[in-house]
Amino acid sequence: MDTNKLPDHRKIGRDLDLFVFSDLVGPGLPLFTPKGTIIRQELENFVKSLQEKHGYQPVLIPHLAKKELYETSGHWAKYKENMFHVLNENKEKWVVKPMNCPHHIQIYASRPRSYRELPQRYSEVTAVYRNEKPGELLGLTRVYMLTQDDAHVFCTEEQAVEECLKVYDIIKNFYSVFGMDVGKKARMSLRDPQHPEKYLGDDKLWEKSENMMRDVAKKAGLETYDGIGEAAFYAPKLDFMAYDSLDREWQLATIQLDLNFPDRFGLTYIDKDGSNKKPIMIHRAILGSVERFISILLEHFNGALPTWLSPIQVKVLPITERNLDYANQVTKLLSDQAIRVEVDDRNETLQAKIRDAQLQKIPYMLIIGDKEEKENTVSERGRSGKDYGAQPLEEFIKNVKKEIETKSLD
């Protein structure tokens, strides 16, 4: 395979005007344009729609914390060199958050909890900041700021396996729409027993959490293989692998079953008999990093994103200036139906307009000439060059809306 001919998300992003980098802002800090932001919002909204039926509630946390928060979690000892450090005017050490879990823990810990309230499911799409080595920064795949579709579940031991299976349901449904089925295979990411110093907690806690993860995999019907040393420093993981159109393997979604953080933070809930018990904490991510996932998608589709995800879904192309009024009417009708549409009103030839729309990977072009205006129709053309011919605008709207709502790949 000639790697020089493979799609490169950096070039695609530049050509399609999706994101930029600025020397004044700094490396590893992407700036998303209006078009790129649409892609982000569509992905985020899709995840939200999948998790709402499972009872996830949105939360919002600050981007700073005292270092004591991360000392308690264990991140300070294990991860300090990868954090951005801040000194306030009193010379107190603060941290730009590299993880969200300690903040979410503080929401749970803010008041006493009863078993009747569990599970508590907190979700948030938010940025974290990690001090990567400058030489390791690469486009959207390795950045200083990455956005996580993060969620944490606090539940009883009896609820934990079922909660993990609900996460697996979200993962399956999410990846299926991209033709990147996570399939039936996952990596069981375990601690390395030869290096216990890398991990929090004792053997008993780890054995329990690892056994529960194996139970999740069994009930999900997953084929797993062990990844020794691939666990988070606080918990084992189920890491899901996806394959893109270039046959590359990516580790994206993850489920982590954590007994250590509840122990370190002294989390409890009041059980049926009035006793205090420790909850189990589940960490989960569906996209992983929004930036990295977008880079994968751009290369997976070579920029030709599915219609529901495309920043501009339809381009209206009037053949002459006298067709512009009708073209604007068509544009308004499409926009009123929540279809993302633009009209190309430049004084250019039709072929030039078609070529530019194809280069921008816009799924559909509607050509408007005297005949279309007279017959109150539109002539549809796909970005692949296929000519679908003239049809009533209402029929085109119906078909495109169905394609968007079903998140079709066609």
Sign for the CA dihedral angle at 290, 45, 177, 32 comes to: negative
Q: Is 148 a catalytic residue?
A: yes
245: in domain? yes
Query: Do 179 and 319 share a domain, yes or no?
Result: no
Tens digit of each residue's pLDDT (9 = 90 or more) over 56-97: 999 999 999 999 999 999 999 888 889 999 988 888 889 999
pLDDT value for 180: 80
Grouping H, G, I as helix, E, B as strand and the rest as coil, residue 385 is: coil
Query: Do 315 and 220 share a domain, yes or no?
Result: no
Choose one of 273, 300, 327: the last residue of a domain.
300
Mean local confidence (pLDDT), 30-52: 96
Centre a 10 Å sphere on the Cβ of residue 5 and count the other Cβ atoms it contains.
7
Tens digit of each residue's pLDDT (9 = 90 or more) over 374-392: 999 999 999 988 899 999 9
Query: Do 284 and 395 share a domain, yes or no?
Result: no
- Give the confidence band of 3 by pLDDT, cuts at 50, 70, 90: low
Q: Is 101 a catalytic residue?
A: yes
Annotated active-site residue in 40, 103, 113, 130? 130
pLDDT value for 4: 62
Tokens of 334: 């499409």
Query: Do 272 and 364 share a domain, yes or no?
Result: no
179: in domain? yes
188: in domain? yes
29: in domain? yes
- The highest-confidence range among 71-85, 100-114, 396-410, by mean pLDDT, is 100-114
Q: Is 315 a catalytic residue?
A: no
**Residue 286 contacts residue 47 (beta carbons within 8 Å):** yes
Query: Do 294 and 317 share a domain, yes or no?
Result: no
Annotated active-site residue in 40, 142, 166, 237? 237
Mean local confidence (pLDDT), 335-355: 95
Average pLDDT value over all residues in the chain = 93
Annotated active-site residue in 148, 256, 313, 360? 148
pLDDT value for 251: 86
Tens digit of each residue's pLDDT (9 = 90 or more) over 388-397: 999 999 999 9
Domain boundaries, position 322: 307-405
Give the CATH number of the domain where residue 229 resides. 3.30.930.10
Mean local confidence (pLDDT), 30-34: 97
User: Rounded to an integer, what distance in angstroms lies between the CA atom of residue 29 and that of residue 31?
Assistant: 7
Give yes or no for residue 1 having a pLDDT over 60.
no
36: in domain? yes
Q: Is 195 a catalytic residue?
A: no
Query: Do 182 and 202 share a domain, yes or no?
Result: yes
Site of tokens 């709502």:
405
Give the CATH number of the domain where residue 362 resides. 3.40.50.800
64-66 and 93-96 as β-strands: parallel, antiparallel, unpaired? antiparallel
Query: Do 311 and 272 share a domain, yes or no?
Result: no
Query: Do 213 and 334 share a domain, yes or no?
Result: no
410: in domain? no
Distance of CA 233 to the CA centre of its chain: 23
225: in domain? yes
41: in domain? yes
Query: Do 381 and 337 share a domain, yes or no?
Result: yes
Query: Do 277 and 345 share a domain, yes or no?
Result: no
Q: Is 152 a catalytic residue?
A: yes
Tokens of 192: 């390395």
Query: Do 313 and 263 share a domain, yes or no?
Result: no
User: Rounded to an integer, what distance in angstroms lies between the CA atom of residue 334 and that of residue 313?
Assistant: 10
Q: Give the whole-number percent of the chain exceeding pLDDT 70.
A: 99
Query: Do 68 and 130 share a domain, yes or no?
Result: yes
Pick from 312, 315, 335: nearest CA to 381: 315
Annotated active-site residue in 149, 150, 239, 344? 150
Annotated active-site residue in 97, 103, 191, 283? 283
Choose one of 268, 300, 332: the last residue of a domain.
300
Choose one of 272, 300, 328: the last residue of a domain.
300
Q: Model-level pTM?
A: 0.93
What is the domain count for the chain?
2
**Residue 349 contacts residue 379 (beta carbons within 8 Å):** no
Annotated active-site residue in 101, 121, 164, 383? 101
